[in-house]
Homo-oligomer: A and B are copies of this chain.
Amino acid sequence: MIIGGNEDRDNDKPVLRRIVALSERAQPKIVVITAASAEPDVVWQAYDGAFEDLGVRHRQRLDLPDRHAADHAAHVRTITEADIVFMTGGDQTRLMSALAGSRAAVAIREGFAHRGQCVAGTSAGASVMSEHMMASGEVRSPPTKDMVRLARGLGLLHGVIIDQHFSERGRLPRLFAALAHHPPLMGLGIDEDTALVVRPFDSIEVIGSGAVTVVDGSSSTIDRVACAHGEALQLEKVVVHLLPAGGRYTRHAGATPVGPGIATAVHLLTTAACG
């Protein structure tokens, strides 16, 4: 579950509630990885309280401040035994500097791909889910190719790049810039308090209060303009789908009728889960 940040943690909590439901356990074990945050105590308290409100008894905090911690056998076992792995917001570069190449990362990837584990992440925790992640990037228009820096993510999903706080922070130019680096990637812009649920080889679903913007650059031409603004990107024929919360799209003719554009995106996304 890819959450765009700033999800409701105090009221009805529809996004967090769905995470608990997705585990399909009466008493799921949840592990909250706070490694992205500079204030893990504050973040942990917020989610500990929220998941307690939702009736989750088995809640465990995992700070994983560095690579050493992320290789620690006891921590890896904690991840392996969890029904739900939740990664908080903060800074995705901080999170990946602890997780990259670690045994914890392998455990999360395998849990998602092979053991049906529910992996959820919000904001920075959402960005790391793909193979290529947005490490940093300004929000500026027109976008320039050097405006964003990409880095390796956890690699739960292939062929996509994720941005969060999407509509709220006007990040379309930034996602355009990321696609200019790797045009075959499909961009996913996730709004705040909104999540994309990807069920491998099955369906995608949008929940929460916003929308998911799918940006498909595969049939576009992306050029630098040969002019004074040497680095400004000109983009032609980028195809955009807007999927509002409430929609579920199955791989095979689903409940919601969709045309070939969305169907292609659904196929790509549900296949993108590494297996």
Contacts and interface: CB of A to CB of B under 8 A. Distances in A.
B246 A235 contact: no
A89 interface: no
Interface residues of A, number: 44
Contacts of A245: 142, 229, 232
A32 B172 CA distance: 34
A166 to B, nearest CB: 8
Contacts of A256: 225-227, 234
A254 B169 CA distance: 35
A235 B232 CA distance: 28
Nearest to A238: B240
A167 B167 contact: no
A173 B246 contact: no
Contacts of A258: 236
A239 B221 CA distance: 12
Nearest to A174: B167
A221 to B, nearest CB: 5
A262 interface: yes
A274 B23 CA distance: 60
Number of copies: 2
A191 B229 CA distance: 16
Interface in A249-271: 256, 258-259, 261-262
A275 B240 CA distance: 33
A176 interface: yes
A15 interface: no
A57 interface: no
Nearest to A140: B167
A95 interface: no
A70 to B, nearest CB: 35
Nearest to A215: B240
B141 A167 contact: yes
Given A210-B141, A239-B238, A240-B235, A246 B225 contact: yes
Given A211-B232, A221-B259, A225-B256, 5 more contacts: A143-B242, A170-B172, A228-B246, A239-B239, A240-B240
10 contacts: A142-B191, A167-B170, A167-B173, A225-B247, A227-B247, A234-B242, A236-B259, A236-B262, A237-B262, A240-B240
